[in-house]
Amino acid sequence: MRLGLPWQVLFSRLLGTLPPKLSNRHHKLALVEAQRVLTDYLHGTRAIPFSHADHIVSNSPCALSAFVAQVAVPPDAAVADLRRALTRFLYYQPVDEFEFFFESIGLPLSSCAAAASSRGIFLSDDAPLLAAVSTLIHYGFPWTKLGLLYREESSIFSSVPSCLVTRLRALEALGFHRICVIGICLAFPTVLTVDAEPDGEIDRLFLDLRTVFVDFSLAERVPDDNVDAFVQICRRIRVFYDLGSSRGAMGELMGMNLRIFLELDEKAIAEKLKFFIELGMEEEKVGPFILGCPDILDFDLENPIIAMPEYLKRVGLDKKKVILLSKSTSDQLQEYFDCLLQMGIHAMNLSASLRLLHLALFKIFSPQCCRCRLLYSTQTIILVSSSHEASSSEACIEYGFFYVINHGIGEGIFHKVFEESKKFFSLPLEEKMKLKRNDAHRGYTPLYAETLDTSTEFKGDPKESIYIGSNSQDDLNQWPPEESLPLWRATMQSYHQDVLSVAKRLASLIALSLNLDDNFFERIGAWDVPTASVRLLHYPGELSASDNGKYGASAHSDYGIITLLVTDGVPGLQICREKDNYPQLWENVHHIDGAFIVNVGDLLERWTNCLFRSTLHRVLAIGKDRYSVAFFLDPNPDCLVECLESCCSDSQPPRFPPIRSGDYLKERLGKLGIFPSSISLRCFTSSAHPPPPPTSSPLCIRKR
């Protein structure tokens, strides 16, 4: 059927039946006049303070446009006519003031109508809300940010003003300045709903925030008048709590990683935390893990397409090594890297693997992977397989400290060991001295008995310890009486056996990373004579005036192959990566619950021709009791330590002559004056020696 008139004519007639619309110019003019009329209306007619009325109308453009659209005015009306029409409309059609209010404080438009529908239409009918708003605005809260409070804790707006003031002042009393307090409240609205009870959730949150903003001076790094910056920082902090971190236990870790909260995006932080939660890590452990290894936040863990050479450069591998690796085995490297991504990140069952964690990020993937065995860190990537060529050793690890998790030893065992350790060190000195260290280097060492750094002016480190050797040589150990410590002996024997198993597995993985068979250390007889030992350590919190400036353990490196350390979480451990630099730069080693802190010893450094570093470390005396348990994996004293073929070349000849493990021990400890000549090397093992002097020393000074 054909239409009688052209469709354009019909459409124009249809438009002619609609209410007249204002042109853009007149619409803008109408909005300006509507803003004035509504402000006067709210203040003069509805008795709302003028500053409140101005904020409400100025910050609700959508509600204002909807109001103007309801008023019938000629398209070309003069200003006076507009004002009269708008004022007349308000006489007969009162506006819903709550819709204007909720939009003005920053609630999403989708939430404004819902929030307003549960109330009347006049703000003056809700006296508690206006009183709470007045209190918050008078304190300094930005009007447009109040929606952050209402969205999460609407009860704040029915609170008694005096309660709000009390809670705000309580925050100031903790050392936060006013703008910082506002930022905290906007990010954590709950703090305005209840008082902080001792050791409650709010109290523990304040403890963390005070540590970060006051003790670590984060507040000083943000402009005092920048509320938005404080809100952003606090929201980045909140991400950790929202994803499982425990309040009251994060302050120090956060304070040591201020860059995260100053520079990184809130969404990016959340994605990294969720990534590890989805891999199966317990939620409460993910936050401390990330803050203990902050470089993880710089990785794109979700992107499976990364070119190998560019990635090697990004993680810090020397440019020349990248070129060499890319030219010699680029296809193989890419294949291994793809395997890392596919099997290590996206599909690997972490509960069935052993993961090494570098101080930033460090993983050893399970040897059950048939295609390759990989050692991955932020500094370099070790790629080892049965067909791997010698050139891959160029990618060996050069960082001497890392963490080990998923090792199979439960935290309950660690707790039991620390509990028994504290019981022993709480015994009277005369009781402990009955177990004084014997010629087999087993037993108790009192305070000030050792000075690991002989170059220091202080004589004697303020720490006490007890050595426990192999279960197979149990007759050499010294045990406290069972009547006073009935569980002590069994606990330590069991712990020694458990950690020895982990340490040997690590040694096998290290051998693989050096292009050796996984049974290399067994084959050369390193385990023929059991010399591994456990050392319980106690650093007293109360020190005498003469101890001022001393270290709990002065600077030293460990003697043997590797050391596996667990601590009670009290800080103090530091490392120096460049021991030949003066002055030396020291870095804190963060605690990770349930993780071993592993460091390379001198003999492994000699085996690898300094490819693996025996890193200098020390323990600060911080005025607080500190307990730790070290396990030293040392080789058979008759074991010959000589440079591995995979770690030397014509351009990198061996830096040390071959030496027996026991002879090296005797040489090092003889300089400390604690190695009597009558002692048999077969029953003697030690943990550490002082740093070498800058000039003559048998230790390697790594040249870069």
10 Å Cβ neighbour count for 266?
A: 15
Check pLDDT > 50 for residue 663. yes
Coil vs helix vs strand at 407? coil
Which of the four pLDDT bands, split at 50, 70 and 90, describes residue 385? Answer: very low
Do 579 and 556 touch, CB atoms closer than 8 A? no
How high is the pLDDT of residue 565?
A: 95
Q: What amino acid occupies position 296?
A: I
Sign of CA dihedral 167, 171, 177, 181: negative
* Dihedral sign of CA atoms 584, 296, 619, 684 in order: negative
Phi, psi of 51 (to 5 degrees): -60, -40
Question: Which amino acid would we find at residue 230?
Answer: F
Can you give 320-374 as a three-state secondary structure string? HHHHHHHHHHHHHHHHHHHHHHHHHHHCCCHHHCCEEEECCCEEECCCCCCCCEE
| DSSP string over 151-194 | HH-GGGGGS-HHHHHHHHHHHHHTT--HHHHHHHHHH-GGGGTS
Task: Name the DSSP letter for residue 682.
Answer: G
- Between β-strands 551-558 and 573-576, what pairing exists: parallel, antiparallel or unpaired? unpaired
The hierarchical CATH code for the domain 411-689 is 2.60.120.330
In this predicted structure, the answer to whether residue 113 has a pLDDT above a threshold of 70 is no
Q: Sign of the C-alpha dihedral, residues 388, 390, 394, 400?
A: positive
Residue range(s) of every CATH 2.60.120.330 domain in the chain: 411-689
How far is the C-alpha of 644 from the C-alpha of 608, rounded, in Å?
Answer: 6
Poorest-pLDDT segment among 178-187, 200-209, 302-311: 302-311
User: pTM for the complete prediction?
Assistant: 0.50
Q: Please, what is the angle between helix 488-513 and helix 411-425, to 10°?
A: 130
Residue 588 banded pLDDT, cuts 50, 70, 90 = confident
- pLDDT band per the 50, 70, 90 thresholds, residue 5: very low
pLDDT, mean over the chain = 76
Could you give the CA distance from residue 65 to residue 96 in angstroms, rounded to a whole number?
Answer: 13
pLDDT tens-digit profile of 293-309?
Answer: 787 777 665 554 444 45
Give the C-alpha separation, 565 to 548, whole Å. 26
Tell me the C-alpha distance between 380 and 312, whole Å.
7
